[in-house]
């Protein structure tokens, strides 16, 4: 019977199945995305139709004559392809009507304000489509996706924000996985419409001091995350279309820490993960300096909250990822990244664990030769060897372990032994002769500690005959390997324990 509904019945239809998240329900959003909950103070919203929308007595109007708006049929509770086509048709009509009125009365907002309210209302009604991802192909076939994307450039940011919220719901990963065909068609259409480039252009004009626009920024980042999770290769296109540059700009902005800054750090980590092109691009647009500047705050200050701690860890992770690109090692060196990491290690703040990991990435392999020599020149040996001699008992960083600390310290020393030139290398070797060869004793202690762990897991492997590779790594093989390298055959160190044989 619902197939015989007219347009009025459809537009007044109120389904029992609600969209995944309401436009203004911050508490519900917090339940579904707890880590990315917005924490903005309530602020006034200035827009062309906000006075109408904010009126508590206001009831959203529909672009219909009273005679054409009968009561909806309570028995209709499913959105099918026919009803969706009617909804899209009405959407297109409202888009066209608003465009015509804006062109006809560009200087008379009161003439087109009602049409803008109606356009905003229909965008909210279209959230129901996100609950039926199998209908996404109809959106694509009727070119509704391109019409939706076109509204991202609407003169009224209220409309563009409503579009962003709709796109965030449509691209929700849970919805995309419900219908592979629908998801593929939707994402292909979004890519064809240059979605990231249009989102970035919209981001540039949003004012985050206004709560609704800050939410628009947050939802924009959520769209990128959704797309990157469903199609990881889209991260490269997103970075090239300006998103990476915008994120760096947002991180540098002199604004109080908030949920959007945290989200930016998360998206940055996603863009850099396993994408060599993005790591290279980051270096070319001075991203290494930006990361070092943002991390420098934590040299003498601990994060003020768990969210800020997470952001700091994301920035350290992004820096480590970027250092896997060889040209960025030189940028890190010129940007005095070694000096910053050295100071962080000495200050003993929460940033120490991240700094040690970054130092490991900066010095490893032959690409780390210059950093190894420079670290010795800036008296880094005075910093690294106390960490080698004694593993901190307690870590402030959640999830860190003594084993991780020992692995990174030993890896740094191993890299310096392999990469340092003659003068710096001799200074390094001399460290092992100090205080009656105490560092040699410590080296042996760590070696046998992890050798015993590896042997123990080998015995388990012999019994179980499966999972041996991951088991050896978890037991400490990664820590044992650099320890063996750190025992240089050509060293002139006089070893007091002559009968100890290192494998």
Per-residue three-class SS string for 278-318: HHHHHHHCCHHHHHHHHHHHHHCCCCCCHHHHHHHHHHHHH
Q: Sorting pLDDT into bands at 50, 70 and 90, what band is 47?
A: very low
Q: Percent of the chain having pLDDT more than 90?
A: 71
**Do residues 341 and 332 touch, judged by C-beta distance below 8 A?**
no
Q: Sorting pLDDT into bands at 50, 70 and 90, what band is 462?
A: confident
- Per-residue pLDDT reduced to its tens digit, 87-134: 999 999 999 999 999 999 999 999 999 999 999 999 999 999 999 999
State yes or no: pLDDT of 20 exceeds 50: no
Among left, alpha and beta (phi > 0; psi -120 to 50; other), residue 383 is alpha
Q: Percent of the chain having pLDDT more than 70?
A: 76
Instruction: For residues 343 and 337, give the distance between their C-alpha atoms in angstroms, rounded to a whole number.
Output: 10
- Per-residue pLDDT reduced to its tens digit, 215-251: 999 999 999 999 999 999 999 999 999 999 999 999 9
Measured from the Cβ of residue 44, the count of other Cβ atoms closer than 10 Å reads 9
Taking all residues of the chain, what is their mean pLDDT, rounded to a whole number?
83
pTM, rounded to two decimals: 0.78
pLDDT, position 477: 65
Instruction: For residues 247 and 230, give the distance between their C-alpha atoms in angstroms, rounded to a whole number.
Output: 21
Residues in the chain: 503
Measure the CA angle with vertex 350, ends 349 and 352; round to 5°: 75
CA-based max dimension of the chain: 101
Among left, alpha and beta (phi > 0; psi -120 to 50; other), residue 476 is left
Instruction: For residues 468 and 458, give the distance between their C-alpha atoms in angstroms, rounded to a whole number.
Output: 7
* Closest to 247 measured CA to CA, from 278, 212, 215, 211: 278
Instruction: For residues 365 and 387, give the distance between their C-alpha atoms in angstroms, rounded to a whole number.
Output: 21
**If DSSP codes are grouped into helix, strand and coil, which group holds residue 327?**
helix
As separate numbers, helices (DSSP H) first and strands (DSSP E) second, the chain gives 28, 0
Neighbouring residues of 414: CB distance < 8 A, sequence distance ≥ 6: 482, 483, 485, 486
* Closest to 419 measured CA to CA, from 371, 464, 379: 371
- Per-residue pLDDT reduced to its tens digit, 356-397: 999 999 999 999 999 999 999 999 999 999 999 998 876 545
435: Cα separation from own chain's centroid? 47
Average pLDDT for residues 332-355, to the nearest whole number? 95
Q: Which of 377-390 are b and which e, b meaning 16 or more Cβ less than 10 Å from the residue's Cβ?
A: eeebbebbbebbee
pLDDT, position 485: 58
Least confident residue range of 68-72, 121-125, 178-182, 190-194: 68-72
Instruction: For residues 22 and 41, give the distance between their C-alpha atoms in angstroms, rounded to a whole number.
Output: 19
Instruction: For residues 409 and 389, give the distance between their C-alpha atoms in angstroms, rounded to a whole number.
Output: 10
Q: Sign of the C-alpha dihedral, residues 148, 150, 153, 156?
A: negative
State yes or no: pLDDT of 499 exceeds 60: no
**In the Cβ-directed half-sphere of 280, how many Cα atoms lie within 13 Å?**
5
**DSSP letter, residue 63:** S
Least confident residue range of 115-129, 297-311, 461-475, 483-497: 483-497
Neighbouring residues of 200: CB distance < 8 A, sequence distance ≥ 6: 241, 242, 243, 246
State yes or no: pLDDT of 211 exceeds 90: yes
Q: Sorting pLDDT into bands at 50, 70 and 90, what band is 410?
A: very high
């Amino acid at each position: 019977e619902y197939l015989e509904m007219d347009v009025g019945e459809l537009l007044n239809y109120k389904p029992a199945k609600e969209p995944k998240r309401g436009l203004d329900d911050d508490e519900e959003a917090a339940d579904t995305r707890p880590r990315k909950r917005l924490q903005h103070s309530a602020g006034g919203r200035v827009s062309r139709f906000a006075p109408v929308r904010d009126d508590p007595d206001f009831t959203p109007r529909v672009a219909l004559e009273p005679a054409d708006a009968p009561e909806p049929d309570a028995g209709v509770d499913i959105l099918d392809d026919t009803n969706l086509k009617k909804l899209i048709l009405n959407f297109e009509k409202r888009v066209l009507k608003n465009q015509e009125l804006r062109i006809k009365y560009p200087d008379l907002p009161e003439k087109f304000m009602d049409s803008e309210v109606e356009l905003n209302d229909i965008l909210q009604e279209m959230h129901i489509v996100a609950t039926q991802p199998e209908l996404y192909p109809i959106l694509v076939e009727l070119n509704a996706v391109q019409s939706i994307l076109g509204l991202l450039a609407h003169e009224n940011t209220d409309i563009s924000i409503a579009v962003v919220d709709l796109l965030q719901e449509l691209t929700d990963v849970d919805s995309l996985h419900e219908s592979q065909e629908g998801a593929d068609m939707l994402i292909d259409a979004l890519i064809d419409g240059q979605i990231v480039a249009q989102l970035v252009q919209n981001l540039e004009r949003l004012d985050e001091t206004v709560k609704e626009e800050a939410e628009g920024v947050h939802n924009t980042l959520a769209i990128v995350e959704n797309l990157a999770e469903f199609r990881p290769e889209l991260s490269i296109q997103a970075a090239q279309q300006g998103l990476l540059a915008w994120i760096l700009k947002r991180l540098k902005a002199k604004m109080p820490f908030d949920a959007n800054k945290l989200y930016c750090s998360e998206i940055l980590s996603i863009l850099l993960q396993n994408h060599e092109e993005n790591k290279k691009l980051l270096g070319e647009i001075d991203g290494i300096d930006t990361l070092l500047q943002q991390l420098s705050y934590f040299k003498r200050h601990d994060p003020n909250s768990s969210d800020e701690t997470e952001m700091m860890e994301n920035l350290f992770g992004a820096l480590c990822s970027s250092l896997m690109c060889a040209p960025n090692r030189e940028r890190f060196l010129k940007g005095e990244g070694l000096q910053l990491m050295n100071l962080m290690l000495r200050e003993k703040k929460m940033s120490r664990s991240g700094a040690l990991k970054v130092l490991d990435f900066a010095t490893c392999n032959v690409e780390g030769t210059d950093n190894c020599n420079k670290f010795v020149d800036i008296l880094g040996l005075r910093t690294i060897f106390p960490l080698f001699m004694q593993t901190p008992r307690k870590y402030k960083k959640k999830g860190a372990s003594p084993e991780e600390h020992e692995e990174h310290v030993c890896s740094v020393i191993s890299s310096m032994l392999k990469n340092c030139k003659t003068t710096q290398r001799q200074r390094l070797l001399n460290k092992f002769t100090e205080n009656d060869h105490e560092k040699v004793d410590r080296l042996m202690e760590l070696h046998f500690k992890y050798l015993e762990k590896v042997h123990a897991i080998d015995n388990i492997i012999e019994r179980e005959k499966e999972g041996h590779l991951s088991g050896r790594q978890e037991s400490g093989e990664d820590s044992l390997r650099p320890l063996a390298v750190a025992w240089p055959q050509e060293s002139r160190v006089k070893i007091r324990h002559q009968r100890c044989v290192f494998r």
